[in-house]
Amino acid sequence: MEQTWRWFGPDDAVRLPQIRQAGASGIVTALHHIPYGVVWSVDEISKRRDMIADDAELGLRWSVVESLPVAEAIKLGEGDLAALFDNYRQSIRNLAACGVTTICYNFMAVLDWTRTELAFRLPGGGTALRFNADAFAAFDCYILERPGAEADHSEDVLRRAKAWVARASQSDKDRLLATIMAGLPGAYDRYDVPGLRRMLDRYHGIDHAALRANYARFLREVVPAAEEAGVSLCVHPDDPPRDLFGLPRVVSSADDLQFIVDACPSVANGITFCTGALGAGAQNDVPAMAARFAPHIRFAHLRNVTKNADGSFMEADHLGGDVDMVAVVTTLLKEQARRKQAGKANWRIPFRPDHGHELCDDIGRGTHPGYPLIGRLKGLAEIRGVMTAVASTAGLPM
């Protein structure tokens, strides 16, 4: 499996030599400065590719795009989308022309990954990302004041949410909004409360069936161009894998993944298998899903979560938490071996250590939330150890 690392570009506090020190050889990055829906030009792509490969001693390459964003109008099925589809197809072609042929994207409405705490304190003083059901309900019901929101939360969670609001200062509420917005990377729009209400209003009447239909249309429009260019598109699951703010989520379960691969059957229509995003859903048997969808996995995010019965969860150690990481890695290595035996040229599955704990000298360093250096280095080292042990024992290629 190709060891990769997410890098947010030249402004990232984590530098390319440090990524090489961590043991990664592939870079996962995106052109975050380009607005949604605008073509990624060959010039801009080449500039980022060459920046990564500039120091030959490091031996780094741009392995995966994360993400080539889908414009909100496409998710909404809103207006004349021909130009947006054309632009997305052209970006795919331009990336392929520059040698970047694995593209991660998501189809989450309005928000990307969502948490309520960015620095939950761990024993010893490290910090982790956390999703608290009561804080989320407090925001949904009593700050955002979304009509009908109370029906989406249990009585116990609502009771604790009211208590949260009662003791919260305005700065607490502002911090919670900023935390919920933190999953939108790069220069993407952040919303204040009125702005978020307006975005949610645009989705009025869009249910699961409608969003699935819009997603299937997107796949039919762009997958043929990806296949022709030799590109693998791989969708990232919803994070967390549940409806939020009344917005439907359609990449949250095994049923959803089956719908996606069936909606546009193609070698170019693949999956980013994120053990943390899927693992946050009580309905998901992550090792079983890895085995079921292994032929469609083109990229993997390996991290772990610990769940609570009320829907809360926390980012755990990469080999801790609720997901059997050894079982997942074993499945991915076996799938690689199958592809190699079948003569596939690109048989290795790129993976990256996803969200890590903020540890040691990274605390207060100002890295992107969830993306410190040391916590991810620790996770990559642990996963590398699992890979080595499994591959050696089972006689599988790394």
The pLDDT tens digits for 256-298 are 999 999 999 999 999 999 999 999 999 999 999 999 999 999 9
Q: Is 301 a catalytic residue?
A: yes
CA distances for 393 relative to 19, 167, 290, 342, 398, angstroms? 28, 55, 20, 22, 12
Interval 312-337 mean pLDDT: 97
Dihedral angle over CA of 211, 217, 223, 228, nearest 10: -170
pLDDT at 188: 54
3-state secondary structure of 351: strand
| Strands 297-302 and 269-274, sheet pairing | parallel
Q: Is 274 a catalytic residue?
A: yes
Residue 90 burial by Cβ neighbours in a 10 Å radius (0-12, 13-18, 19+):
middle
Helix axes 208-229, 82-97, angle to 10 degrees: 40
Rounded to two decimals, the pTM is 0.96
Buried b (16+ CB within 10 A) or exposed e, 131-142: bbbbbbbbbbbb
Please determine, for residue 148, whether its predicted confidence score (pLDDT) is greater than 80. yes
Q: Token pair for residue 101? A: 């042929």
The one catalytic residue in 153, 236, 296, 318 is 236
Residue 30 burial by Cβ neighbours in a 10 Å radius (0-12, 13-18, 19+):
buried
pLDDT at 182: 83
Q: Which of 346, 229, 248, 341 is nearest to 297 (CA)?
A: 346
According to DSSP, residue 109 is labeled: S
pLDDT at 187: 45
Give the integer Cα–Cα distance in Å for 387 and 391.
6
Helix axes 208-229, 254-263, angle to 10 degrees: 50
Q: Is 88 a catalytic residue?
A: no
Q: Is 355 a catalytic residue?
A: yes
pLDDT at 183: 74
The one catalytic residue in 141, 234, 264, 274 is 274
Interval 227-252 mean pLDDT: 97
Beta-strand runs (E) in 163-293: 232-236, 269-274
Computed over every residue of the chain, the mean pLDDT equals: 95
Please determine, for residue 194, whether its predicted confidence score (pLDDT) is greater than 50. yes
Q: Hey, what domains does the chain have and what are their CATH numbers?
A: 2-114+208-306+318-394 (3.20.20.150)
Interval 360-386 mean pLDDT: 94
According to DSSP, residue 247 is labeled: B
According to DSSP, residue 11 is labeled: T
Interval 36-50 mean pLDDT: 97
The one catalytic residue in 88, 355, 357, 362 is 355
Which secondary-structure segment (H or E) carries 123? Answer: none
The one catalytic residue in 142, 153, 234, 301 is 301
Give the integer Cα–Cα distance in Å for 354 and 299.
12
